[in-house]
Structure formats: structure tokens, C-alpha cells
Chains A and B, each alone.
Chain A
Amino acid sequence: MALFTIAEPGQSKTRAPARRKRAAGIDLGTTNSLVATAREGKAQVLRDAQGEALLPSIVTYSATQAPHVGVPLALDNAQASSISSVKRLMGRGRADIDYPLPYLLEDAPGGGMPLIHTVAGKLSPVQVSADILRHLAARGGAALGGELDGVVITVPAYFDEAQRQATRDAARLAGLTVLRLLSEPTAAAVAYGLDQQLEGTVIIYDLGGGTFDVSLMQLQQGVFRVLATGGDAALGGDDFDRAIALWLLQAAGIAQTPALQEWRALLAVARTAKHGLTTAAQVPVAYAAWQGVLTRETYYSLVDGLIDTTLRACKRVLRDAQVQAGELSNVVLVGGATRSPRVQEKVAAFFGRAPLCSIDPEEVVAIGAALQADVLAGNKYGAQTLLLDVIPLSLGIETMGGLMEKIIARNSAIPVARSQEFTTYKDGQTSMSLHVLQGERELVQDCRSLARFDLTGIPPLVAGAARVKVTFQVDADGLLEVSAAETTSGHHATVLVKPSFGLQENDIADMLKNAYTAAEADKRLRKLREKQVEALRHVEALQSALAQDGAALLSAEEITELTQLLQELRALAATEAADAIESLTQRLNEKSLDFAARRMDAGIHKALAGRRLNDVDL
């Protein structure tokens, strides 16, 4: 019990305890966004004046008014442009967008994300996202009584570095301090783990408007560990709408691609039909002059393929982590599209258990983010919670022969730092070019190039004597920093990897699939490349030794013989005959053994000649 003393007038307020930090969690979704905040360990989503928690991720720009976020204003289309699903464009290139969009895009000067045409000018997806974030932050600030000190923003687990960076940039543009970017399934796990003390191995099935994520998580005593992630960054409830819309076009007998405006109307009809089928067995649909009925059976035939795609991703994730469906303690549903009875049905059948949806699947991510924001902002609650995330694909560097040397393995928990020592390949080599790669394949050409940089100032030493330590560091947000340092001289170089376009989910999936199917061929190729490098290394070493001491230590015949073998091996190393290269390398090695011994003797003789044993510092 505190006892009080009387303070001087106006002085007592200085003793007030530190202000609780205003922190919020933001689920920046493709279709809808939410903001939530935690109070005394309980999180709740914040609602607008109408009691709506979901903010449609649509920004309406007009030439005269400030951007409007949410349900589009009923303005004339000539005066306003409504931009939706902008999340799909974040960190993406123009070439990546191969589906119809209800607005026009154009290439940005100098590459990067495409610009969106609006009546208020050309805007980058980052600017549109920033407008959404600004709106959500204002809602959060109003609820908490002041500007937010920090936010946690959720992103799909599969968002690559470019997409994460774009999200970060949007937050900065909106004037927000990002405490952390948190992957959506991880946020959902936080919500369940902290609120309801769920423990065990859990699969998070997140089917949102535009993205599908599946994450296998292990929850243990408040520690969240992502065992494996997978998904499809371009599959979601929007695709269900699109499938219905295309069916409508076909049913209505319309052959040509509809104009933007008609397409938007068509999607609205499709969405209403989809929602209707949640409860009804069939719904009446009408488009243009055509009228008809969409039955559940037809709807299922349209979307079952999409759902099966998600289940295949689940299967891959289970296989990656070597977990059987029966070992799972729970299946958690996240995302508005999981409200669909068909999705729940198929997920339940696939995993052999009824999925969990005790927290509103649309709010669960924002709630988890809010809890995490509360912890990260330094508000006492749950301060011990440690969150582990993983990197989706291995990271490494290129080594001689075009091989990928993995430094951080796929599915390593982040933050992580790993080092490996490399050395020079040629005598007197003073610089080294480092090529940072991401992927699972053995050869550089099959992996994704992330960055290149040079390390200079390596002291000129014989091949293999210099020690270059390469360190890969991935921070908690998944951003990669690679540094290289020559250990004797201390020269170092660093690169922060921010690719202009990162990997897409499809790329990641393809790369993984290729890594499995090409495993055998890759192994053979790696062996060949290793033999080739080995052979050439011997050739180089012998050549410089011959130039230096050949005349002094060898007879003319010996020199001829070695030179001939040397040329033979050099020619053979260019072919793909791995075994022949190996045996010839072996033969050259044997032939040059005597020469090597003589060189060593000569070296020792030179070092010791004319000196007394006591003077020699052995």
C-alpha cells in the first residue's frame, strides 16, 4: 500500500507512472482491412461509427475531394476511381499481373511496381495502401485517445522481401511506426495461443480475399514456432467470385470480354450469389438480359478445383515438416472465405477433424497482431512471448563452378545469422565477387539472384590461404543482410538485400517442385561441377609451380610429361565426363607428387641452409 506525501502545487503529476503505449494491430487485407488493439491482455477489433469492423480495402479517388477509404462513394465514374485489391500489386511487376483488374495499369518509369490510373493522377500501390493504413490508424488513434506509438502489420507468410518492403514503405508514408511485420497465420496462432492457451501442432488454413496461406505451427508454453509454410499468393475468395462471373458470362451467352464497368457489376452479382449459397441450396441470378439459377452443385463444380489447390498446398506443407495429418492437434480457419460451408467441409474431410473457428475468422489475424503490438510496444503483458518465423527458401552464395552453396537452410527460424568461411581460388587473388542467391537447386542458374557485391582488399596470398567469412543475417522482419570480411586484413563489404521484384509464391512453389523432380540430375551436375573445379584448381596450382620451380627441379622430359597431362586435363575439364575428369585429376596428382616433394625439400633447404639448429624458429 503506497502512502502519500503532500507535494508542492503542480508537482505531483510528474510522479505519474509511464504512459501506456498506444499500440495497434493492423490486418491489411486484399479485400478488407481491420484494426485491433489490446487492453489488459484482451484484444478487440475497433469498429467505425456504424459498428463495422471490416473496412473494405477500397480507396476512391476523385479530382476534387480527399481520398475516401471504404465502401465506394456513389460518384460518377468519370469523376472518381475506386481502387480495390491493391495488395496484389504490392512489390509486384507489371508482368506478374495476368488477371483482369477493374482499373488500368502502366509501367512505372525506371521499373518497379506499376502505376494505377486514377482521376486524381497515377498512383503507386504503396500510396493506395498508405491511404488505407492512414484511415485505420486514425480509427485506432481515436479509440486509444491519441496518435499511435506503433503498429504491427500483418502480411501473408509468403510475402517476399519486395512485398514486405512495399508494405513497410506504405506504413512510413502513412506516418506510422512499424513495430514488426507479422505473418498472418502467425498472428492467428498468437490470437489462439494467448487468448485460449491452445497448445500443440496446429495448421493454420487462411483463405482470404486474394491470398491463400497455410502454416504449420508448433505452440508450446507461449512460444510459437513456424515449422513450415506454403500457399498461393494469388488465390482467394476473389477467385471464387471470378469463377462465378465467368460462368455467368457463359450462361448469358456473352462471348466478348466485358468492359471494366460491366466486369465490376458482374463480380458484384457473383459475390451476392456466393453469399446466398452459404445458406440456400440455390439462388436466382440475373445478369444483363439473362436470368437463371445457380445451384450449389454448379457452384461446387466451379470452386472445388480452387479448394483442391489449397489442399494440395496443405499436403506439401505437412510433407515438408514430416508431420502426419493425424498428429495435428487442431486446424484453425482464418479469412472470410473460410466461412464458406464447402471450404469447411473439404478441409474437415482432408484433415479428418472439424476445423476451429471459435474466433471470428475475419478478425483473428488483427487480434493476434494487436496482442503482438501490445507486447512489442513494451506494455507489460506477455513480455516473455517469443515469436519465431521461418524463411521460405534457402539462402546462399555462388561458389566456383556455378554452384549454389546454401548458408541458411529453408525453414530456418528467423531472426537468424549464419557464417561460413570461403577462400580464394587463384594465387594472388585480391577481390572476390559475391553473388547472393535464394532457392533449393544446386546450380546458380536455377536459383533466384538476389544481389551481387564485391569484397576487395584481400591480401595477395596463394590460392586457399585467404580466409573470407561470409555472414548471412535475416532480421525478424525477414530482411536479409549479407556481409563478407577477410579475417586477416579486416576488409569487409555488406549488402542489404532489397530486390526490386522478389519471388512470387508461384515461383517459390515451382522452385520447390523443380528441386524435388530435378534432385537426381542436380546431384549429378553438382558432382560434375565439383570435379571440374577440382581439376582446374590442380591445373592452376601445377602451372604456377612449374613456372616457378620447374626448370630448377625437373628434367626436360618430366616438364614435358606434366605439361602434356596438364593440357589434357584442362581440355577434359570442359567436357561432362565426370569420372574421366576424376581419374585424370588423380593421375596428374600422382605424377606431380614427386615434383611437390622436391619443391618442399628445396623450400626446407632454402630455409635451413647455413643456419644452426638453435637459430631456426620451429
Chain B
Amino acid sequence: MAVTLTSVAAQHVAAQLAARGKGLGIRLGVTTTGCSGMAYVLEFVDEMNDMDQVFENHGIKVVVDPKSLVYLDGTEMDFVKTGVNEGFEFHNPNVKGECGCGESFSV
């Protein structure tokens, strides 16, 4: 069971954490909503919960709650630039279908 970051993604997370001034790392999760059933949650982490799993990549802590982990196992988080847009992207091997915009997915 693991969730990974690419080195580019890690650099951007580190930069954003530094700019924010606080935070233990990032939280990656899923919620049951969106047009294809599930949607990603990506947040800074200030507090950890008891059951949280922590994966460390390139010095960045990625926190995942156990319920989300079953949908996220094997996911790689990347940082991409497309035209004027830039942001994080997920490569999730569990995904069977995605909605058109990629914001939500089904497994």
C-alpha cells in the first residue's frame, strides 16, 4: 500500500508549504461525490488523525486516511504544466472511468 509523489510534485509541495509557513505535509483523500462517483481531496495537513497512514516521498509527508487508501493505493501524484494551467495530477491505477473534466472518477 503506497501513494507516491514525483520529484517535480514534491518540489512544488515543498515550495507551497514553505510559502504557507506551516503544515506537516499534504493530505490526499477521496469523497463520494462528483459526476462519476468519487472526487479527489487535496489539502495541507496541520493535524494528523489516529488512523492516518503517512507516506514520505522526497522529504514530503503524504497523509491518507485508511478509507481513502483503498481507492488510492498505487497512485502517483505529479505536477504538470499545460499551456497557462499548472497544477497537480493523479495517476491512479484503481480508476475505471473518469468524468470528462477529470475531477471525479469511479473505481
Binding site for B on A (CB under 8 A): 1-13, 16-17, 19
Contact = CB atoms under 8 A, between A and B. Distances in A.
Contact of B43 (A1, A11, A16): A11
4 smallest A-B Cβ distances: which pairs? Answer: A3-B87, A1-B102, A4-B88, A2-B103
Contacts of A3: 80, 82, 85-89
Given A9-B45, A9-B47, A17-B104, 6 more contacts: A2-B101, A3-B86, A6-B43, A7-B41, A13-B31, A16-B34
11 contacts: A1-B89, A3-B82, A3-B85, A3-B87, A4-B87, A4-B90, A6-B13, A6-B43, A8-B44, A17-B35, A17-B103
Given A13-B31, A17-B33, A19-B33, A2 B42 contact: no
B27 interface: yes
B39 interface: yes
Tell me the interface secondary structure of chain A in the complex: loop
Interface in B54-107: 80, 82, 85-90, 101-104
A11 B87 CA distance: 17
B43 A2 contact: no
A16 B47 contact: no
Interface of B: 13, 16, 26-27, 31, 33-35, 39-47, 80, 82, 85-90, 101-104
A143 to B, nearest CB: 16
Given A16-B33, A17-B104, A8 B43 contact: yes
Contacts of B33: 16-17, 19
Contacts of A2: 87, 101-103
A191 to B, nearest CB: 24
Given A1-B89, A17-B35, A7 B43 contact: yes
A380 to B, nearest CB: 8
Contact of B87 (A5, A9, A10, A19): A5
A10 B43 CA distance: 7
A6 B26 contact: yes
Contacts of B27: 9
Indicate the member of B26, B43, B46, B82 with the most A CB atoms within 10 Å: B43
A19 B46 CA distance: 28
Given A16-B33, A17-B33, A6 B16 contact: yes
Contact of B42 (A12, A17, A19): A12
A336 to B, nearest CB: 36
Nearest to B34: A17
A10 B37 CA distance: 20
Contacts of B102: 1-2
B40 A4 contact: yes
A6 B44 contact: yes
A149 to B, nearest CB: 16
B44 A1 contact: no
A514 B41 CA distance: 70
Contact of A7 (B35, B44, B103): B44
B88 A12 contact: no
Contacts of B44: 6-9
B107 to A, nearest CB: 16
B39 A9 contact: no
Contacts of A16: 31, 33-34, 39
B104 A5 contact: no
Contacts of B42: 4-7, 12
A300 B80 CA distance: 75
Contacts of A5: 42, 87-88
Given A2-B103, A3-B88, A9 B82 contact: no
Contact of B39 (A6, A7, A11, A17): A17
Contacts of A8: 43-44
A2 B41 CA distance: 13
A8 B16 CA distance: 11
A10 B29 CA distance: 11
A105 B103 CA distance: 59
Contacts of A10: 43
A480 to B, nearest CB: 40
Nearest to B85: A3
A13 B29 CA distance: 11
B71 to A, nearest CB: 15
A2 B88 CA distance: 9
Contacts of B85: 3
Contacts of B103: 2, 17
B34 A6 contact: no
B18 to A, nearest CB: 13
Given A16-B31, A17-B34, A17-B103, A9 B89 contact: no
A13 B40 CA distance: 10
Nearest to A11: B43
Nearest to A1: B102
B43 A12 contact: yes
A13 B41 contact: yes
Contacts of B87: 2-5
A591 B39 CA distance: 90
Indicate the member of B13, B31, B82, B103 with the most A CB atoms within 10 Å: B103
A13 B47 CA distance: 17
A12 B41 CA distance: 6
A7 B46 CA distance: 12
Contacts of B90: 4
A8 B27 CA distance: 10
A19 B31 CA distance: 12
Nearest to A17: B34
A118 B33 CA distance: 46
A357 B16 CA distance: 62
B93 to A, nearest CB: 17
A4 B39 contact: no
Contact of B101 (A1, A7, A19): A1
Contacts of B35: 17
A39 to B, nearest CB: 11
